[in-house]
Amino acid sequence: MTFPGLPPDASASDSEVRHLLADFASKQAGPGWYVVNDNVMGGRSEGGFRLRHGELYFAGRTNTDGGGFSSIRTEAVEFDLSQYRGIRLRVKGDGRRYTWRLTTDARWRGREIGYWADFDTTAGAWVTTDIPFSRFIPRFRGTRLDGPELNPGRITGMGLMIYDKLDGPFELRLASVQAY
């Protein structure tokens, strides 16, 4: 699926130009999402999502006995974000650490590279989190790679993951995703 996003916007109080990538409260078409949990490698974590009250609600339980992650990802997108500095998330979390994931057309041994950047949440509080593109680390199945660096002009997918090496329930509400 190709989703060019919405046109850049600037609020009256903020001269910074932003590009809306996903807004779960609007009627605009957006990228579809799907679940990838650690059971693809024999793990026991459970997680999923639903859209509710204009938010994407991501919740489940991680189990570090085999994998220890749960994630949701977009279907294929095509975003040229080369004129922006990073990703801005509006989230309400549970105090755990989450990871925002981007993909491009970059490959390692013919396989898709994921670019990961961790962010912390505050239990029960809405926060806006800015993740500069410079913080995204190339990884293949969790293993850190030496490169290539993220090319924000060639984004082909994005996702949300919990992989904080803790067992237990997790819950994150996502209101919007922007490039800033």
DSSP 98-158: EEEEEEEEEEETTEEEEEEEEEE--BT-EEEEEEEGGG-EEEETTEE-S-PPP-GGGB-EE
Task: Answer whether residue 108 shows pLDDT above 60.
Answer: yes
The pLDDT tens digits for 90-102 are: 999 999 999 999 9
In a domain, 76, yes or no: no
User: 23 pLDDT band (50/70/90 cuts)?
Assistant: confident
The pLDDT of residue 168 is above 90: yes
| pLDDT for position 8 | 40
pLDDT, residue 125, reads 98
Please give the pLDDT value at position 17. 81
Nearest to 4 by CA among 27, 24, 28: 28
Query: Once rounded to an integer, what is the mean pLDDT over residues 1-20?
Result: 52
Domain range enclosing 47: 19-69+82-88+97-179
Checking if the pLDDT of 9 tops 60, the result is no
The answer as to whether 13 is a domain residue is no
Answer whether residue 12 is part of any domain.
Answer: no
Cα dihedral 58, 161, 4, 91 in deg (nearest 10): 50
Residue 12: pLDDT above 60?
Answer: no
Residue with tokens 């670019």: 115
Within a domain: residue 1? no
Q: Tell me, what's the pLDDT at 7? A: 38
Structural domain contains residue 31: yes
Say yes or no to pLDDT of 10 above 90: no
Average pLDDT over residues 64-81: 95
Taking the CA atoms of residue 156, residue 158, residue 164 and residue 168 in that order, the dihedral angle to the nearest 10 degrees is -130
In a domain? residue 32: yes
Specify if 106 maps to a domain.
yes
Answer whether the bond into residue 138 is a cis peptide, omega within 30°. Answer: no
Collect contacts of 124-127 with beta carbons under 8 A, ≥24 apart: 124/92, 124/94, 125/92, 125/93, 126/90, 126/91, 126/92, 126/175, 127/90, 127/91, 127/92, 127/93
Model confidence pLDDT, tens digit, residues 109-124: 999 999 999 999 999 9
With cut-offs at 50, 70 and 90, classify the pLDDT of residue 31: confident
Domain presence at residue 158:
yes
pLDDT at residue 164 greater than cutoff 90: yes
Residue 37: band (very low, low, confident or very high) from pLDDT cuts 50, 70, 90: very high
Judge whether residue 30 has pLDDT over 80: no
Q: What is the pLDDT at residue 163?
A: 96
What is the number of structural domains in the chain? 1
